[in-house]
Amino acid sequence: MLSQPAFHVGSVPVFGELILAPMAGFSDLPFRSICRSLGSAMSYTEFVNVDDLQSRRGGNRRARQRLRFREHERPVAFQIYGHDVDRIVDTADRLQELGPDIIDINMGCYVKKISERGAGAGMLRDPCLIARLMERLVAVLHIPVSAKIRLGWDDDTRNYLQVARALEDHGASLVAMHARTRAQAYAGHADWDAIAAVKQALSVPVIGNGDVRAPADIERMKAHTGCDGVMIGRAAIGNPWMFQCKDRQQVSLADRLVLLREHLDLNLEFYGAQKGLVLFRKHVARYIEGTPAAARDLRVALLTCDRKQDFEALLYRLESKWLPRLAAGQKRILASSSRYWRVSGSSSPSRAKTPRITSRGSPVRKPLS
């Protein structure tokens, strides 16, 4: 963690430049806790529909569960979405009693059933509505307000500069931007030039998001855009060590399994035994991706078991099968390298000809893109 804040959201200091992106189904309390412990500088909750938060039915309980957080996650931003200004403002006002540091408005969700109703990225089609919403939120809330946006609805309406200026002019304390349009979803390339243009146009902090797939991309985005922080989404799933600027290949299978177990325990604690294990399956597939452990039989078994003891038995099988092989592979590398160690006329090893031995035992695939 930095000794000095990297930037402030209003009066809230943020001690770091890397942030886990809010992702439906992934950025829940267990995964946020993991990422925060590895270096993510703040926590965004999964986005929550304001209509669910105002409902008296079961949706209220499920929605509020998404807003639960731990103190070590601070600063915490509650991300909400909706299409009705009055409901958004009323909900945000009442959410203050739950103790978030920031209220964030989702203006980037591309999903059809959300955006075509005027929520999420649907808001981008009406900058005047965005201005009214921000103005009212700032008047009511005693904590900062931020927004996460996209380039625009589609390539014909890339109005991100107009939207970003409307946000700042009417009180937003931070703007995060996924540099794709709603029509792109996750296809094509993120336009980092657009992030740079927003950074140049605004005085509030700007967070860049999109196409950060490897640690090298973090520095590239910062250099290219001048953004105050970098938001990492899909690349962190299965590799939360991204917040320590580590590639997937730099993390041993043993270390992955230690964190995998920790993550599983957090899931079971948060969701309960059955639901916690089912929801964890999607993470398992990504933790073991790119290693010999991703053999089809074990992978399928891990993704279909429904009891923790069965899951633990599979992990033990994975460890007993693959860790010795990786260690043996390392020994073979050491043994085969001995032919480089002798120099003509000498019985002592030569430093100049000693090959560099890495901590990786066997080759792995490229990290998830």
C-alpha–C-alpha distance, residues 261 and 265, integer Å: 6
- pLDDT higher at 265 or 314: 265
Fold held by 253-336: 1.10.1200
Average pLDDT in the 315-332 region?
60
Does residue 127 register a pLDDT over 90? yes
- For 88, phi and psi rounded to 5 degrees? -60, -45
Which pLDDT does position 318 carry in this prediction? 75
Sequence-ordered list of residues with C-beta below 8 angstroms from that of 367, at least 6 positions apart, any chain: 213, 214, 235, 239, 247, 248, 249, 290
pLDDT digits (tens, 9 = 90+) for 105-114: 999 999 999 9
pLDDT digits (tens, 9 = 90+) for 185-199: 999 999 999 999 999
pLDDT digits (tens, 9 = 90+) for 4-50: 999 999 999 999 999 999 999 999 999 999 999 999 999 999 999 99
C-alpha–C-alpha distance, residues 226 and 222, integer Å: 5
Domain boundaries, the chain: 7-250, 253-336
Fold held by 7-250: TIM Barrel (3.20.20)
Which pLDDT does position 239 carry in this prediction? 96
Identify whether 35 is a catalytic site residue.
no
Span of 210-219, 302-311, 355-364 with lowest mean pLDDT: 355-364
Q: Structure tokens of 147?
A: 């927004």
C-alpha–C-alpha distance, residues 345 and 156, integer Å: 74
Which pLDDT does position 158 carry in this prediction? 97
The pTM of the full predicted model, rounded to 2 decimals, is 0.84
Which pLDDT does position 94 carry in this prediction? 94
Span of 142-146, 216-220, 279-283, 357-361 with lowest mean pLDDT: 357-361
109, 128, 227, 305: the catalytic one is 109
pLDDT digits (tens, 9 = 90+) for 292-303: 655 556 777 888
pLDDT digits (tens, 9 = 90+) for 234-289: 999 999 999 999 998 899 888 988 999 999 999 999 999 999 999 999 998 888 88
pLDDT digits (tens, 9 = 90+) for 152-175: 999 999 999 999 999 999 999 999
Work out the mean pLDDT of the chain and round it to a whole number: 86
Sequence-ordered list of residues with C-beta below 8 angstroms from that of 342, at least 6 positions apart, any chain: 349, 350
Average pLDDT in the 225-235 region?
98
Span of 7-16, 31-40, 224-233, 337-346 with lowest mean pLDDT: 337-346
pLDDT digits (tens, 9 = 90+) for 60-90: 888 999 999 999 999 999 999 999 999 999 9
Judging by DSSP bridges, how do beta strands 12-14 and 7-9 pair with one another?
A: antiparallel
Q: 291 pLDDT band (50/70/90 cuts)? A: low
Does residue 59 register a pLDDT over 60? no
Judging by DSSP bridges, how do beta strands 145-150 and 174-178 pair with one another?
A: parallel
